[in-house]
Structure 1
Amino acid sequence: MRIALFVTCLADALYPDVGKATVTLLERLGHEVVFPAAQTCCGQMHVNTGYQREALPLVRHHVETFEPYDVIVAPSGSCVGSVRHQHTMVARRAGDEPLAARAEAVAARTYELSELLIDVLGVEDVGAYYPHRVTYHPTCHSLRMLRVGDKPLRLLRRVRGMTLLELPEADQCCGFGGTFAVKNADTSTAMLADKMRNALDTGAEFTTAGDSSCLMHIDGGLRRLRSGTTTVHLAQILAHTEAPA
């Protein structure tokens, strides 16, 4: 299958290894991954802060960039959520019904990584090996907007050598929420403290999730605590294989 990678701003700017891991994983499974070089921000941060008019050119550009592809994947529930639930709305509110229809069609072909693997490619065991203790945080967008359910856990349970530990109060937000963490710093910090305590109580070496944004927030807190534990993206675990003897 030919799959277009929507890498997202955060992966492009701060976490390129997440994009690389996504490519490594999909190519190992026998698929061709292409990277549309014209891609830019999907406009989520503009929409979330009330700048829908300013987001419209980004929505149009995203549609034009990814329209030629039958399948699009992003290692981010947050950005996929924006493509699916905001792009058509932004175009329609601007009175551009043709763009709204095109955006809706592109959104229908856009998948978060765990969705692509299980719902489209029909695979749960991706041949990964990761000999560590790991706990999984279901991010808000993947849990509540995309409703990926247990798909990431089904993939993680098939990873060889890994001990998957249940995260207490897993469905609670980590406190990031984009600009929420900036505008409501005290509340965000309190929510992060709860998330870190629950992650540390599991005894896990790594906390994983499908969104680099939430992992960045959690990792920042863990580093300040000098806890010795850290975060890793789901794609990086699934791309990891046992070293040859």
Structure 2
Amino acid sequence: MKVGLFIPCYVDQFYPQVAIASLQLLEKLGCEVEFPMKQTCCGQPMANSGYEHLTAGCNDNFVDNFAGFDYIVCPSGSCTLHVKDHLHSHKNEQAAVTIRKRIYELSEFLTDVLQVKGLQARFPHKVGFHQSCHGQRGLHMSQMSELVAEPFSKPEQLLNQVEGIELVALTRKDECCGFGGTFCVAEEAVSAKMGKDRVADHLKQEVEYIAGADMSCLMHMEGILRRQKSPVKVIHIAEILNSTLHEPTA
């Protein structure tokens, strides 16, 4: 299958190791992966700020870059959900509709499309997993704890296939970290307090790493950890699942 790799702009600029790990992991699992070189921001920051009517250029560029792929895969639940729910194109609306049906967040692509059952990965560390709100409540990557329903987690399904990993149980496993895109700018104090509470839950379990499927949430918590001078690191799930090829970057 031919996969277009969509890398969010902040990952490209600040966490390129996540993009590399995603590429290597998909190729390791047999995908033919292409990275369109002219891709840019999907327009989510503008839409979150109430300016979705100004995202036409981003939308048309996205369609130009990703039309024709069997699947589009992205290591970010929030960017994936934005494209899935909001991508339109005055130039080629039919292509936009097709893309919305073919875009997947990385871990849901591995579980739902590739149906990965036996990863050859090793990560002998104590890890707490943060389930981001977009992934959970928008893409349904895991069950919400307030529902009386059978629990599931697609990312944890993959992490449980990793040799040596110790996944800890958090007290509030699906609590928001407070990042929320532009929310952390508009409501800085609330965002910071929510982040500190989220980090504290992981620290209480004495984790070595906080893992997640969204580097935006992890970036928010990483800033808090650094200010607290904590030795705990953040890591994207792609880096763990790809850990047999390269050790994760600190």
TM-score, length basis structure 2: 0.91
Counterpart residue identity of residue 74, structure 1: C
Give the Cα–Cα distance (whole angstroms) in 2 for the partners of residues 19 and 11 of structure 1: 7
Alpha-carbon shift at residue 124 of structure 1 (Å): 3.3
Give the Cα–Cα distance (whole angstroms) in 2 for the partners of residues 9 and 210 of structure 1: 15
Alpha-carbon shift at residue 242 of structure 1 (Å): 7.5
Structure 2 gaps of 5+ residues are: 143-152
Give the Cα–Cα distance (whole angstroms) in 2 for the partners of residues 196 and 43 of structure 1: 29
Give the Cα–Cα distance (whole angstroms) in 1 for the partners of residues 92 and 46 of structure 2: 18
Alpha-carbon shift at residue 64 of structure 1 (Å): 1.6
Identity of aligned residues (%): 42
Alpha-carbon shift at residue 178 of structure 1 (Å): 1.2
Alpha-carbon shift at residue 2 of structure 1 (Å): 2.0
1:56 lines up with 2:56 in the alignment: yes
> Which residue of structure 2 lines up, in the alignment, with residue 17 of structure 1?
17
Give the Cα–Cα distance (whole angstroms) in 2 for the partners of residues 79 and 3 of structure 1: 17
Give the Cα–Cα distance (whole angstroms) in 1 for the partners of residues 64 and 31 of structure 2: 23
CA contact under 8 A between 1:130 and 1:242: conserved in structure 2?
Answer: no
Give the Cα–Cα distance (whole angstroms) in 2 for the partners of residues 115 and 207 of structure 1: 19
1:110 lines up with 2:103 in the alignment: yes
Following TM superposition, the consecutive aligned residue runs of length 4 or more in structure 1 with deviations greater than 2 angstroms are 98-102
Paired residues, number: 236
> What is the DSSP-based 3-state SS (H/G/I as helix, E as strand, rest coil) of the residue aligned with 2:218?
helix
Aligned pairs (5 A) from 1:113-152: 113-149=106-142, 150-152=153-155
1:174 lines up with 2:177 in the alignment: yes
**CA offset digits 1:211-237 (Å, max 9, x no partner):** 010000001101111121010000000
Which of 194, 197, 202 is the aligned partner of 1:194? 197
CA contact under 8 A between 1:72 and 1:109: conserved in structure 2?
Answer: yes
Give the Cα–Cα distance (whole angstroms) in 2 for the partners of residues 62 and 211 of structure 1: 20
> Which residue of structure 1 lines up, in the alignment, with residue 225 of structure 2?
222
Alpha-carbon shift at residue 169 of structure 1 (Å): 0.9
Worse overlay, 99-108 or 206-215:
99-108
Counterpart residue identity of residue 235, structure 2: V
Which of 200, 209, 212 is the aligned partner of 1:209? 212
> What is the DSSP-based 3-state SS (H/G/I as helix, E as strand, rest coil) of the residue aligned with 1:21?
helix
C-alpha RMSD of matched pairs (Å)? 1.4
> What is the DSSP-based 3-state SS (H/G/I as helix, E as strand, rest coil) of the residue aligned with 2:55?
helix
Q: Going by fraction, where is helix more abundant, 1 or 2?
A: 1
Which of 236, 241, 249 is the aligned partner of 1:238? 241
CA contact under 8 A between 1:117 and 1:124: conserved in structure 2?
Answer: no
**CA offset digits 1:159-196 (Å, max 9, x no partner):** 00111111221211101011111110110111011101
CA contact under 8 A between 1:223 and 1:230: conserved in structure 2?
Answer: no
Alpha-carbon shift at residue 85 of structure 1 (Å): 1.0
Alpha-carbon shift at residue 101 of structure 1 (Å): 3.4
